[in-house]
Structure 1
Amino acid sequence: MKARALSLALCTVLMASCTATPQISFDADPQANFAHFRTYSWAYTAAPQGTNPLLSQRVRTSIDNALAARGFTQADPGDFAVGFTLGARNRVEVSSLGTYGPYFRPWGGWGGGFNQVDVRNITDGTLTIDIYDTASKAPVWHGRATQQVTTDQISQEKVDSVVTAVLANFPPPAGAKR
């Protein structure tokens, strides 16, 4: 019984560690010429309606810092425009730990089994960053991160790590698989 409890605890820790890393995806226009991109501007300046304006400011600051670290400078208008969206989606996760039994009762005799079901409400947060060519006004790059989030305040460090992970694929590496 202790071995089963230990393995259950280990599985829980492993599952929790899996949610610590966001799932990153990106897509790029294969015809876009990313080599001429040197400057950027913002597609919009106000926080999108219905979002936390403080979190939006953290994301914007993080994107500014990440692009500056890659050698891009802000201009009006820039060679490309940046926009982002934040979203959250609630889901219910149900897991069954299986039937325990028949098991031996410590006070003697055999007993029937029981089934333990775990039901959890989970919130998945999503950050999407879009890049548009300002000359053609066409979208040229799309990156997204999805991760389980809590209702606690999301720190600037957490935002920085997610933005850095998404923008690691911008501009897209030559021959990158999307």
Structure 2
Amino acid sequence: MLKNKLIVLFALVAVMAGCVSTQQARVDFDRNSEISTSHYKTFAWLNENKVLAEPVDVNPVMKVRIDNAIEQAFIAKGYELVSDAEKADFTISYTMGSRDKVKVDSLPSSYRRGFYWGHGYYAGMVINNDNHVKNYTEGKLAIDVYDVKSHQPVWHGWAVKRIKSSEQDNPSKAIKMVVEQVVAQF
């Protein structure tokens, strides 16, 4: 009996550790099915600024990293970057942002049966909680593709990722990885 409990406990710990260590970006997309992209060969930026809506607190160095990562990701897919948007098959733009978030977990740590009145009384039990508060930053990147001939949106891809402190100190690798994951959906 004790052996089975230990096996279950170790399996639960392993699953939880796996969830924590794989903090990959959540990536998804939406496509306009009325426009075919099979003939696309060239692309350009939608506007000179490249970013569709620049956040107030944008880091200009970070913006250049994102601009370059997006260009390189589309080039790696076989598309050619052209300077004149009117001569391109499609144009691209993006939005970016981050938000500080707080996650609070409240887990019961002990139970006492009986009839207790006052704070913590619940169905004949007093429950003591362990509260764990985590502060973190969540970043979001969205890339948009527009058809030049029809002037219609064709594709919208996005990623949301919890940003680790090591990625804040050296963001280039994380930016490249997230951009490639989003563009791979196109």
Distance 1:54 1:37 in 2: 30
Does structure 1 residue 91 correspond to structure 2 residue 101? yes
CA distance in 1, matches of 2:29, 2:127: 47
2:71 equivalent to 1:64: yes
TM norm structure 1: 0.77
Distance 1:11 1:95 in 2: 18
Q: Within the alignment, does 1:165 sit opposite 2:184 as a pair?
A: no
Q: 1:45 to 1:159 in 2, by over 3 A?
A: same
Distance change (3 Å), C-alpha of 1:145 and 1:159: same
Verify the 8 A CA contact 2:55 2:96 in the aligned structure 1: no
> What is aligned with 2:121?
none
Is 1:141 the counterpart of 2:144 in the alignment? no
Find out whether 1:29 has 2:2 as its counterpart: no
Q: CA RMSD in A?
A: 2.5
Partner-residue secondary structure (3-state), 2:27: strand
- Residue 56 of structure 1 and its aligned partner are, at CA, apart by 1.2
Q: Residue 118 in 1 paired to residue 126 in 2?
A: no
Structure 2 matches for 1:38-77, cutoff 5 A?
38-46=41-49, 48=54, 50=56, 51-75=58-82, 76-77=84-85
CA contact (8 A) 1:99 1:113 kept: yes
Deviation at 1:13, TM superposition (A): 3.5
Moved more, 93-102 or 73-82: 93-102
Aligned-residue offset at 1:44: 2.3
2:123: which partner in 1?
A: none
User: 5+ residue gaps in structure 1?
Assistant: 103-111, 171-178
Moved more, 88-97 or 64-73: 88-97
CA deviation after TM superposition for structure 1 residue 114, in Å:
3.7
User: SS in structure 2 opposite 1:36?
Assistant: coil
After superposition, the Cα gap between the structure-2 partners of 1:11 and 1:119, relative to the gap in structure 1 and judged at 3 Å, is farther
1:101-138 CA distance string (max 9 Å, x none): 56xxxxxxxxx974210112222110000001111211
Partner Cα distance (1:13, 1:142) in 2: 33
Q: 159, 168, 171: which one pairs with 1:155?
A: 171
- Report the CA distance between 1:89 and its aligned residue: 2.2
Gaps of 5+ in 2: 1-5, 113-125
Amino acid of the residue matched to residue 58 of structure 1? Answer: R
